[in-house]
Structure 1
Amino acid sequence: MTDTSVVHLFDRLAALEQRIRDAVALRRAGDPNPDDPFRGLYLSEEAIDALFADSRSPFPLPGDLDPSGLSDRLTSLVPLSPLDTELLLIAVAPDIDSRFEQFYGYLNDDVTRRRASVGLALRLCGVPEASAPARARLDADAPLITSGLLVVDDRDRPLLSRSLRVPDRVVAHLLGDTRLDPGITGFASVTTEFDALPGSELLARAFAGGVRSVYLREQPGCGAGETAAAALAEAGFAALTVDTGRLPGDHPEDIARALLREALLRGAGIVIGPIDADGTPLPLSRLSHPAVPTVLHGTAVWDPRWSPMPPVQHDLRPLTAATRTAIWRASLAGRLAPDTDPGEVTAHFVLGPGQIRHAAHAAELAAVASGSAVRAEHLRAGARGQNAAGLQRLARRIEPAVGWEDLVLPEPILMGLRELAARARHRDRVLDEWRMRPGAGRGRGVTGLMAGDSGTGKTMSAEVIAGSLGMDLYTVNLATVVDKYVGETEKNLERIFAEAAGVNGVLLFDEADAIFGKRSEVRDAHDRYANIESAYLLQRMETFEGIALLSTNLRANLDEAFTRRLDVVVDFPVPDERLRRQLWDRCLGTALPRGDDLDLDFLADSFELAGGHIRSAAITAAYLSADAAEPVSMARLVGAVAREYRKLGRLCLEREFGRYHDVAMAG
């Protein structure tokens, strides 16, 4: 053994063994029948007489024993008195040396009682069994018990005959084992070092000044858990981080006891989060200890009912762009491509320090797989990988596969869409550095409305915006939102907004007029609650921190107060002849075999169709051509257009179809 603390432990056990030898010798000297082979299984008359004659005096201690002068893993656990240390040593002895089981069985007068009883432990410490101060060291509120270092079993027995037991994790720690308690590994981890973060110095001073309870209220991208760990490291503590999302639902008292014990063994503080509006399932009073700082973090406002001891409360702000860039560069450590600036590429991603480190690692792996340095696409993919999956239960995730070059729209419309993307990309600089939105009531979100007829390219434009930002598109499913019961729609929307706040993605409300409609005059209860729903949405959109796009075919149905709160409104017109010509050519693509008789100018001039209908007609013609094993012909395209007309409820007029009217009627 090279660990000096373990050597000290065995030295003390050797001293304890000698004291037990002395105690056994004293016992034998007063035993009326020392050779009885059944000693401990029954009591003879002579043994009863000897008990009457014995005053149960403490065993004498060696004169040179000074527990307070020892420096080892026993005395460095928590502030313990010399008597506490001796009691712990006596209790742990059978877990380290099995001979002590037999020693204690003999001294307990019961071969089946192989752990030290309270009475035996007190007498081995040289303390009378009736000493009230000594017995108090084993009360439920005593340091040994509240810290979880010692367990008093057999609660149904009289105090002096109860057994003392040391938990396995404490035994392992005393023997030099640094692994985490297996009972908490599923939801807890240990951090010993962390770089300083904004706000960590203030917290470190608080911990150094004796503050032991802190609540950090955070926003997305703050990294409250990492900030707390950094502050603890600056104050000389390790950080025992607890993920409340992975906590089991049962035995919270036992979990709290195990967490406190682990923190004491490691000289760590406890970081717990995220805390929601319902608080933490752990009993916070069980985690209170003068040697253990406790930090809770979450987005909710602190509720005094969560704990009888009010914490120091502190609001954190998201990391600045400069800090995020510094963490990206430090995490990638020179593996970036020369022309790649992680700050510029990921400026619109709201990530905390831990998320950035994980994203950087994912980007490195992607770069290794592609055989190159870390490029922009690797960084964006790594950042997207940090999104939680909760939003996918409420919205459909789309990974963008189109870009600006795929849009066929008038230039003013493209400018509006690019402005939306620019707002998302530069909001840190505009809102934080330049402080262009003072006041605490408004969020930092980017919201836009895309209005126009069906098929004019609204959904595709949302996908392009998300793709240009390197984000995923989440289309809200109205079936998961709208509810016939009063108040349920608002709850569903709140869940969506809450999940979206922690996701770096673009949120799309398709057919937004269904839930963002105008408020009306109140004539009955239905109108009243519909107006409440609209008013809630007006307020919630103002405080939203993410990127939200709305599309509608009926802009006139949207509430005017709502459109005022939007950052950008883009009206999508039905494409003119020039754009329809581009759409036909784009939708037919380059891989589809084209017949020699195709007349795209005729199609663009004759049929006033939106882009979505043109794409549908092109796909229909492609299927017909594939079935005939022939290139796509003009007749098949016209027949596909006739099918689109019928779906739209339009007549196939001869003045529109011209010489292809017979083909249209046959189709």
Structure 2
Amino acid sequence: MSLEYLFERLARLEQRIRDAVDSRRAGDPNPDDPFRGLYLSNETIDALLEGHREPFTPFTDSVPDGRLRPLAERAGLTGVDVELLLVALAPDLDSRFEQFYGYLNDDVTRRRASAGLALRLCGIPEASAAGRARLDADSPLVTCGLLAVGEDERPFLSRTLRVPDRVVNHLLGDDRLAPELAGCAHLGTELVAVPGRDRLARAVRGRVGLVYLKEHPGGGAEELGVGALAEAGYPALVVDAARWQAESGHAELTASLRREALLRGAGIVLGPVEDPRLEELAHPAIPLVVHGTGAWDPRWSATPPLQLDALPLSGADRADLWRSRLDGRLAPGVDPGEATAHFVLGPGQIARAAKAASVTALADDGLVRTSHVRAGARSQNAAGLQRLARRIEPVVGWADLVLPAGVLSLLDELAARARYRDQVLDEWRMRPGGGRGRGVTGLFAGDSGTGKTMSAEVIAASLGLDLYTVNLATVVDKYVGETEKNLERIFTEASGVNGVLLFDEADAIFGKRSEVRDAHDRYANIESAYLLQRMETFDGIAVLATNLRANLDEAFTRRLDVIVDFPLPDVALRRRLWDRCLGARMPRGGDLDLEFLAEAFELAGGHIRSAAVTGAYLAAEAGRPVAMSDLVGAVAREYRKLGRLCLDREFGPYLAMVTEG
């Protein structure tokens, strides 16, 4: 970048200083005094009393070219403002001006221009109210952070003027971000096609100064703001609202953000916001795009904003973005769009997930496979939900389920609803009205140990998601309103997580509403009514598990997508369960009679697994393969845990093993 315009102005200023030096010497009674500037003699005071300081003739072409012209236009600077800025800027561009100003200030220690000297050099009388106002605290030069007036304890005319280093560097062609902004801001350079960009760009071009984007799950509010600003001709300064507001030097940081935007001619994209102080950033030349997940609060700004929705990308757009991010690194036959079709991710999350998938693939053969893609997508889950629910990374699949065909069909339907909901609800417009969400909900009902939790884990595994289990018995609080708060925290955190939410012991709170006989009944019904509304607006995947389906309110069951009843296994299923639970790696004795175990003992899958594990420990302790006596003894222990009697007719020829154990 050519700096000739700047140094040409500096040369003109130098000539004016030469004139000021000549004038100073002409009226100096002791021009050769070696201690000039360190004391004031009587002759000097007399000369000051007799003389009168006149300003120089004002400059005519007051706004130079280069970076100063657009900066002056954005900051609302007059020609006088620009000249004052140049006077203050001179020592930062040419060190000789330090000596010049020290001489003209009659003080060799004061090596910057004072307010009075700057006014005179710009052709403005020191007593001019209009001229002095250009250096006030509310002047454009000061409010925009382009000029600092220091030493408030001094009289106004002797206060020093300084141009911040960031302004000097910008005028010299340095485009690096101000160092103090590194922790909370960055330049938005990546453009992604997101819904609504053209409309927002038209608004920015039309001088709409404040925009609020309400971000929906999977929406790209930040990318929408950056893209619209770029389309309207503005660079984007992206600000992390939480870090901005948390900084101890908040006021200084805000001034630096506003100055950086003015220097670059940029707009600001701020978010996600909760309770922002927007008036501090406001400036007519700075488009401000604010985004958050909640509704706009009129208290945030006296200026009404343009309010828009940051809607999620379509499934096709997400797939294209995945492919562009992983182009050339995908294993043959891997379609990242199909593998993550049910993940609700925004453009920024997809970019980070693709990078995470690529890094994970480097630990293998370098090619990105479906497992890498899904692991990268899961890595974008917020950690907040893990403080409220237990996270389970699924390790089982459909082959591990031993259930009747009808139950497996319903589970597959639930997984299909989650996998194809974008196509059905968005592309085919099958979403119902009434403000209902895009969530997929199912009810798993059955006795303990029939496979409800494992089935939820299998569904999560088939979708490539994590499972988060919430025990509602720990959520219920005896104090009024606390249960709703606990549940709201869970739903809020779950909305930002791609996972399957399992509500265990659901009947603890999804129970039937009753006739109001006392205050307890009334508040219990309020909790149930709240949950009815919240479940309808939930956008995630949720499974309710209960041992007592009859206790659930009918209003809940009507709103569920799939209801799966888990029966106790019959003989054939119990035989398969015994074989599956014993596994392929554990050594088996020759006397094992799995048919007898399946026919004699009516146990659910969870109890069979528990008995198999107990038998394995007994065999390991004895140092031999697992024997029939180990399994029969384990069943007896399981009976005792369940409070059941060990009847002769059930244990038959193996009753002696129970007695011996």
TM-score range, shorter chain: over 0.9
Aligned counterpart, 2:20? 23
Q: Offset of 1:141 from its aligned partner?
A: 2.9
> Which residue, out of 89, 104, 109, partners 1:107?
104
Matching residue of 1:421:
415
1:296 has 2:290 as partner: yes
Residue 65 of structure 2 is aligned to residue 67 of structure 1 = no
Contact 1:196 1:231 in 2 (8 A): no
Structure 1 residues 323 and 440, CA, compared in 2 at 3 Å: closer, same or farther?
farther
Whichever residue aligns with residue 619 of structure 1, its letter is V
Tell me which residue corresponds to 2:157: 160
Report Cα offsets for 1:472-495 as digits up to 9, x if no partner. 111124476222221111111111
In the TM superposition, what whole-angstrom CA distance separates every residue of 1:243-272 from its partner, at most 9, and x where no partner exists?
223332433322221111111111211001
Q: Deviations over 1:432-465 (max 9, x none)?
A: 1111123251000111111111111111111111
Are the structure 2 counterparts of residues 291 and 605 from structure 1 closer, same or farther at C-alpha, using a change threshold of 3 Å?
Answer: same
Give the match's secondary structure for 2:420.
helix
Q: Secondary structure at the match of 1:660?
A: helix
Question: Partners of 2:97 and 2:646 in 1: how far apart?
Answer: 100
Report the alpha carbon displacement of residue 506 of structure 1 after superposing the two structures with TM.
Answer: 0.8
- Is residue 506–residue 545 contact of structure 2 (8 Å, CA) maintained in 1? yes
Tell me whether 51-60 or 552-561 shows the greater mean CA deviation: 51-60
Contact 2:392 2:467 survives alignment (8 Å): yes
Aligned partners of 1:430 and 1:436 also within 8 Å: yes
2:189 to 185, 192, 201: 192
- Taking a change above 3 Å as real, the CA distance of residues 638 and 259 of structure 1, as seen in their structure-2 partners, is same
Greater Cα offset, 210-219 or 39-48: 39-48
Q: Distance in 2 between matches of 1:249 and 1:663?
A: 71
Aligned to 1:52: 49
What amino acid is the match of 2:228? A
Question: What is the percentage of aligned positions where both structures have the same residue?
Answer: 71
CA distance in 2, matches of 1:110, 1:525: 82
Q: Determine helix, strand or coil for the equivalent of 1:47.
A: helix
Query: In the TM superposition, what are the counterparts of 1:489-638 in structure 2 within 5 Å?
Result: 489-638=483-632
How big is each residue's C-alpha offset from its partner over 1:484-536, in whole Å with a ceiling of 9 and x where there is no partner?
22111111111111111111111111111122222122222222111111110
What SS is found at the alignment partner of 1:318?
coil
Please say if 1:649 is aligned against 2:643: yes
Report the residue type matching 2:223 in the other structure. E
Report the count of equivalent residues.
657
Counterpart CA distance in 1 for 2:196 and 2:462 is: 33
Q: For 1:502 and 1:380, how far apart are their aligned partners in 2?
A: 16
One-letter amino acid of the structure 2 residue matched with residue 58 of structure 1: P
2:327 maps to 1:333: yes
Aligned partner of 1:272 among 270, 273, 284:
270
Map of 2:79 onto structure 1: 82
Q: Classify 1:480/1:96 alpha carbon distance in 2 versus 1 (closer, same or farther; 3 Å).
A: farther
Correspondence 1:367-382 to 2 at 5 A: 367-382=361-376
Residue by residue over 1:578-613, the C-alpha shift from the partner in whole angstroms, topping out at 9 and shown as x without a partner, is: 111111111111111111111111111111111111
State the distance in 1 between where 2:239 and 2:298 align: 21
1:347 corresponds to which residue? Answer: 341
Q: Which amino acid aligns with 2:208?
A: V
CA–CA distance in structure 1, aligned partners of residues 241 and 154 of structure 2: 37
The residue aligned with 1:262 is: 260
- 1:652/1:665 contact within 8 Å kept: no
SS in 2 for 1:295: strand
Letter in 2 for 1:145: V
Structure 2 counterpart of 1:165, which letter?
A: R
**Per-residue deviation, residues 525-584 of structure 1 (Å, max 9, x unmatched):** 222111111110000000001111111111122111111111111111111111111111
TM-score normalised over the length of structure 1: 0.95
Residues 473 and 506 of structure 1 are in contact (CA less than 8 Å); yes or no, is this contact kept in structure 2?
A: yes
Q: Alignment partner for residue 246 of structure 1, among 234, 243, 246? A: 243
Mapped pair 1:203 → 2:200:
yes
Aligned to 1:448: 442
**Distance between the aligned counterparts of 1:26 and 1:54, measured in 2?**
11
8 Å CA contact 2:473–2:505 kept in 1: the answer is no
> 2: distance between equivalents of 1:480 and 1:294?
43
1:4 is paired with a residue whose SS is coil
What is the match of residue 125 of structure 2? 128
Distance 2:485 2:12 in 1: 66
Task: Give the distance between the partners of 2:329 and 2:353, measured in 1 at CA.
Answer: 14
Change in Cα spacing, 1:108 to 1:508, as seen in structure 2 (3 Å) is: same
Q: Identify the residue that residue 456 of structure 2 maps to in structure 1.
A: 462
Post-superposition CA distance 1:2-39 (Å, at most 9, x none)? x314x433443343333323322221221222233333
* Rounded Cα–Cα distance in structure 2 between residues aligned with 1:641 and 1:659: 14
Structure 2 distance, partners of 1:546, 1:518, is 24
Which of 438, 447, 464 aligns to 2:432? It is 438
Q: Unaligned 5+ residue runs, structure 1?
A: none
For 1:479 and 1:575, how far apart are their aligned partners in 2? Answer: 27
Once structures 1 and 2 are overlaid, which stretch shifts more, 243-252 or 422-431?
Answer: 243-252
**What displacement does 1:124 show?**
1.5
The answer on 1:179 being equivalent to 2:176 is yes
Separation (CA, whole Å) in 2 of partners of 1:435 and 1:91: 63
What SS class does the counterpart of residue 240 from structure 1 fall into?
strand
Q: What is the SS of the residue equivalent to 1:113?
A: coil
Q: Which amino acid letter does the alignment assign opposite residue 545 of structure 2?
A: S
Matched to 1:4, the amino acid is: S
**Structure 2 spans left out of the alignment, 5+ residues:** none
Q: CA RMSD in A?
A: 1.8
The letter for the 2-side match of 1:620 is: T
In structure 1, give the amino acid aligned to 2:129: A
Structure 1 residue 380: deviation in Å? 1.1
- Give 3-state SS (helix, strand or coil) of 1:387's partner: coil
Cα distance, 1:412 vs. partner?
Answer: 0.8
**Letter of the structure 1 residue corresponding to residue 138 of structure 2:** D
SS in 1 for 2:71: coil
Deviations 1:119-161 (A, max 9, x none): 1111111211122222222233322122111122223333222
TM superposition shift of 1:288: 1.5
Determine if contact 2:194/2:220 at 8 Å carries over to the other structure: no
In the TM superposition, what whole-angstrom CA distance separates every residue of 1:62-93 from its partner, at most 9, and x where no partner exists? x7x7332x222233324132222221222223
Q: Aligned partners of 2:216, 2:346: CA distance in 1, in Å?
A: 10
For residue 213 of structure 1, report the CA deviation from its aligned partner. Answer: 0.8
Matched, 1:408 2:405: no
Q: Does 1:236 align with 2:233?
A: yes
8 Å contact from structure 2 (residues 445, 565) kept in 1: yes
Q: Residue 390 in 1 paired to residue 388 in 2?
A: no
User: Is residue 2:136 matched to residue 1:139?
Assistant: yes
Q: C-alpha separation between the residues in 2 aligned to 1:563 and 1:660?
A: 45
Q: Which amino acid aligns with 1:273?
A: G
Scaled by the length of structure 2, what TM-score is found?
A: 0.96
> Is the Cα–Cα contact under 8 Å of residues 394 and 480 in structure 1 kept in the other structure?
no
Of 627-636 and 10-19, more deviation after overlay is shown by 10-19
Amino acid of the structure 1 residue aligned with 2:235: A
Tell me, yes or no, if the aligned pair for 2:219 and 2:312 is still in contact at 8 Å: yes
SS in 2 for 1:571: strand
Q: Residue type matched to 1:409 in 2?
A: L
Tell me, yes or no, if the aligned pair for 2:186 and 2:239 is still in contact at 8 Å: yes
